[in-house]
């Protein structure tokens, strides 16, 4: 009898420990990472790598209250291609903000700030490409819009003849990411409007403002060893024009048009 009671007591203690562990509150903090390989790095409709591949990755922290922070980086070539910098091949971003939902609805919001950092040495006559933006976004299920506002010169751009500053530049991003049932497949689309402050005349050689768009699809592995592996592709284009001589604000020193349309394939993984 004594042995039986001891066995029962031990079993009860084990059950109690298991229940207590199951009822332990989830951590308020979460960390994640991501890495991706892209055939071309397209940012707001413009190639950052002159059509060449890019390796990208980042780390993120999130608090249960809605606050978040993170960093992300990618190789680039545009600063050297335009002759603006020497020994500059990296974009390194730092961001943070607060996001949540409106009550128990499907509507979401996100407000924050991001700093784009470009290490390297500027050439004479060019401005610092580092850029600081603030942003606000609204979402509903698979739809969203995001407004970004630059607090500094827009990536070192001063396109008009007077070299006026371009802080106050804004970008509006309208996007959709529609899942196809529970298959792991989704289709996505984007339309963007860039209004560069003081971008000069309307000639193709100095006009920096434009509209861009993108359409694509992706597959996210739902389970197994490759869970959260994403394979995708998209087509990107814009309404940037070139003049009769084939020049525009987005044609680099090597005569490569960074604004030309592009088809991009990629693979990425989140952890």
| Residue 190's pLDDT band (cuts 50, 70, 90) | very high
- 1 burial (CB, 10 Å; 0-12 / 13-18 / 19+) is exposed
Cβ neighbours, 10 Å, residue 8: 10
Strand partners, 47: 42
**What size, in residues, is the chain?**
271
Q: Cα(first)–Cα(last) distance of the chain, in Å?
A: 52
Specify the pTM.
0.88
24 contacts: CB under 8 Å, gap ≥ 6:
none
Run of H or E including 96: strand 90-101
Q: Which CATH number fits the domain 29-270, given the four candidates 2.40.160.40, 3.30.420.40, 3.40.50.2020, 1.10.10.60?
A: 2.40.160.40
- Span 85-130, pLDDT tens digits: 988 999 999 999 999 999 889 999 999 999 999 999 999 889 999 9
Residue whose token pair is 């940012």? 43
pLDDT score, position 4:
42
- 2 burial (CB, 10 Å; 0-12 / 13-18 / 19+) is exposed
| Residue 182's pLDDT band (cuts 50, 70, 90) | confident
| Residue 23's pLDDT band (cuts 50, 70, 90) | low
How far apart CA 43 and CA 99 sit, in angstroms, is 23
- Span 234-265, pLDDT tens digits: 999 999 988 766 678 999 999 999 999 999 99
Domain range annotation of the chain: 29-270
Q: How far is CA 9 from CA 4, 12, 18, 22, 23, in A?
A: 9, 5, 14, 20, 21
Q: Is residue 55 helix, strand or coil? A: strand
């Amino acid at each position: 009898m004594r042995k039986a009671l001891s066995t029962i007591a031990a079993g009860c203690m084990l059950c109690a420990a298991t229940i207590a562990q199951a009822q332990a509150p989830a951590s308020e903090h979460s960390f994640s990472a991501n890495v991706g390989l892209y055939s071309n790095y397209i940012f707001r409709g413009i190639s950052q790598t002159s059509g060449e591949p890019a390796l990208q990755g980042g780390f993120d922290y999130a608090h249960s209250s809605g606050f978040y922070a993170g960093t992300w980086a990618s190789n680039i070539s545009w600063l050297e291609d335009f002759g603006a910098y020497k020994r500059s091949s990296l974009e390194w971003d730092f961001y943070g903000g607060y996001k949540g939902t409106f009550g128990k609805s499907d509507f979401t919001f996100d407000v924050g700030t991001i700093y784009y950092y470009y290490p390297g040495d500027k050439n004479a006559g060019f401005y610092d490409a580092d850029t600081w933006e603030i942003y606000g976004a609204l979402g509903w299920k698979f739809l969203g819009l995001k407004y970004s506002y630059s607090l500094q010169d827009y990536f070192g751009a001063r396109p008009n003849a007077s070299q006026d500053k371009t802080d106050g530049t804004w970008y509006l991003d309208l996007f959709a990411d529609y899942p196809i049932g529970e298959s792991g497949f989704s289709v996505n689309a984007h339309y963007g409007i860039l209004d560069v402050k003081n971008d000069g005349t309307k000639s193709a050689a100095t006009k920096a403002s434009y509209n861009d768009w993108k359409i694509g699809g992706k597959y996210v592995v739902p389970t197994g060893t490759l869970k959260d592996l994403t394979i995708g592709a998209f087509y990107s284009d814009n309404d940037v024009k070139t003049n009769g001589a084939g020049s525009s604000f987005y044609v680099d020193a090597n005569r490569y048009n960074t604004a030309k349309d592009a088809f991009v394939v990629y693979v990425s993984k989140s952890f």
